[in-house]
Amino acid sequence: MARTKKEEIKVPSTMKEIKDTLWKSADKLRGSMDASQYKDVVLGLVFLKYVSDSFEERQKDIRAELEAQEYPEDVIQEDLADVDAYTSENVFWVASNARWEFLQKNSKGKEVEGKHKSIGKLIDEAMVQLMTDNESLLGTLPQIYGRDNIDQRRLGELVDLFSSTYFATTKEKKARDLLGEVYEYFLDKFAKAEGKRGGEFYTPQPVVRTLVEILEPTEGRVYDPCCGSGGMFMQAEKFLEATKRDRSAIAVYGQELNERTWRMAKMNLAIHAISAAGLGERWGDTFARDIHAGTQMDYILANPPFNIKDWIRNEEDTRWKYGVPPARNANFAWMQHIVSKLKPHGEAGVVMANGTMTSQSGGEGEIRKNMVEDDVVSCVIAMPGQLFRSVAIPVCVWFFAKDKTAGQSGSVDRRGEVLLIDARQLGHMIDRTERAFSDEDIQRIANTFRTWRGRASAEGEYEDVAGFCKSASIEEIREAGYALTPGRYVGMAEVEDDGEPIDEKIARLTLELTAALDESARLDAVVREQLERLK
C-alpha cells in the first residue's frame, strides 16, 4: 500500500529538531533568488502557517463551547462563520482559500478552469485574501511565490513539510509562542547568512536581553525608532511573561526605514499577538518624518545603524537640544532623538559605536558634554567584541533617564552620577566569529544597575568593583574631558593574593622564562642541524 504524504515525512519530536528540520528544508529553496527574497519567501510561509493554525484552533474552541451548551449544528455553523468571534480573541480571519489545509491539498498545484495554477500562485492569492480580510495586515505580506525564479516543486515540498508540524497549544506553551520561536530562529539564521546586512534587521538576543533586563519595561509605551524586525518588542514581552505581568500592560511604538524589514516586524508582532498599529501605516525615515511626533515614551530600546554618513539633517530641528549633530555621522542624532522622546520619568537604552564615548569630531564632544552636564546620562556599558557576527568591533550601550531622583525608577538618588560598567571580559565564544552572554553575565550587568538605582528587583547593595564598575560623579567626568570610556574609571581588577611574596614571585618567573628561552634556543639549533642535513 502506498504511503501517505504525512507518513513519508518524519515529524521531528523536539523544538530544536523542528527548527533545524524546517531550516534545512527551507534552505533547499535558495539558489536562484537573492538572500533577501529568500528570507521573505520563508518567513511569509511561517506566518501563513501560524495564522491558519491559530484560526483552526479558535474554530475548535468555539465548537467545543457551543457543543457544551448543547446548541444545534446550524447555530454552531453560524457562529463559526462569525468574523468577530475570531478577531475579538486576536485571531485573524482566514478564508477557506487562505487556510493551510487548502494549500497542503494543492501543494502540487490546482487545475482551475482547465488551466494549471501553481502552488506559488495559490499562496500569493492566500496572502492577498488575508490582507483583504484583515485590515491590520494591509501592505504587509509578500506576494512573490508565483514568480518564475521560485522552484515550484521545492516550494510544494516545503508546504508539505510545514504541514507535518502543527503548532498547537500545549500545557507549556501557546501555538503563537511555538511558532514565534521558529520565526525568531529563522531571523537569527537569516541575519547570520546575510552577514553585515543581517545586522540591519536583527539584534542578537544577548544584547537585547541586557537592555530589557536593565530597563525592566513593566507598563506604558515601549518605543524603538529603528525597530528592525521587532526584536526589542519581543524581548520586552518575554520579560513581562517571565515576571508574571500582564502582557497588555505595554503598548509598542516603532518606525523602520526599510520596507522589507518593516513587513517582517509587522508579521513578527502579529505572530506574538501584539498590536502592530504603533508601527504606522508604512515604513519611513525617523529623521525625515517622525510618525510619533508629540508622543512621549516610557521606555526606549534601540540599536540604530552606526555611523550613518548620508542622513536627512535639519539644523533647525528642535530635537538637537544638546547641539547640531555632524552632517557625516548620525550617532548623536539618534541619541538626541531618543532623549527627546522620553517622558519626564522615562528611561532609554541604546546600542552605539564605541567612538561615541570619546569622539570630539564635528561637535560630538560638545554634545556629549552637554548631555552629561544636563544629567540625562545614567549609565554607559562597554561591551565585548564579536557580539554581532557581522561586526567584530566592540560596541557600547548608553542609558538615559530624565529623572535620577529617588522615587519611581529607584530608591537611590543618583543625580550628578553616571554608572560606568566595563563588561569587555564577559561572555563566551559560541563559534569562531560570535560571542554570547550567559544568563549569569546578563544578570551580573543588570543587577549592578538595579542595585545602583536601588530597585525593588535588586539583589544586594551597590558597590564599586575594581575593573568592572564605578559610580562616577559629573565632576570626575568633567576632569576626564567628558570621555565616558568605562575602562578609564573602573581601574584594574584586583588580583587575588596567592601568598607568594612579590620579590620571590619575580625571581621565580624570571628563572622559568630564562629556562624556557634556553630550551627554545636548543630546539632551534636542533631544527637548523636537521635542515642542513637535507641539503
Q: pLDDT (tens digit, 9 = 90+) per residue, 431-444?
A: 777 888 999 999 99
CA angle (343, 348, 350) in 5-degree steps: 145
**DSSP secondary structure, 28-50, as one string:** TTTTSS-HHHHHHHHHHHHHHHH
Mean pLDDT for the chain? 87
**pLDDT tens sequence across 285-295:** 999 999 999 99
Let me know: does 394 contact 383? Beta carbons within 8 Å. Answer: yes
pTM over 0.85: no
Residue 481 corresponds to which cell in the numbers above?
A: 574631558
76, amino acid identity:
I
**DSSP label of 391:** B
Q: Is the pLDDT of residue 348 over 70?
A: yes
Q: Cβ distance 140 to 267 under 8 Å?
A: yes
Confidence of residue 200 (pLDDT cuts 50, 70, 90): low
Which residue has 560630538 as its cell numbers?
A: 364
**Mean pLDDT across 481-502:** 80
Contacts of residues 492-497 at CB distance under 8 Å and 24 or more positions apart, as own/partner, are 492/466, 492/467, 493/466, 493/467, 493/468, 494/466, 494/467
The whole-angstrom separation of Cα 427 and Cα 204 is 13
pLDDT in tens, 393-420: 788 999 999 999 998 889 999 999 999 9
Q: Return all residues near 269 (Cβ < 8 A) that are at least 6 apart.
A: 230, 233, 252, 275, 276, 279
* SS3 sequence of 464-475: CECCCEEEEEHH
User: DSSP assignment, residue 512?
Assistant: H
Q: Specify the pLDDT at position 297.
A: 98
Report how far residue 369's alpha carbon sits from residue 357's, in angstroms, rounded to the nearest whole number.
11
Q: Residue 145: what residue type? A: Y
CB atoms within 10 A of CB 220: 16
CA–CA gap between residue 383 and residue 351 (Å, rounded): 10
> Please, are residues 180 and 46 in contact by the beta-carbon 8 Å criterion?
no
377 beta partners: 400
Q: What is the pLDDT of residues 132-181, one digit of tens each?
A: 999 888 888 999 999 988 889 889 988 988 887 655 555 445 656 666 77
The more confidently predicted of residues 244 and 501 is: 244
Q: Which residue has the higher pLDDT, 196 or 193?
A: 193
Q: What pLDDT is recorded for position 168?
A: 54
Mean of pLDDT values over 473-487: 97
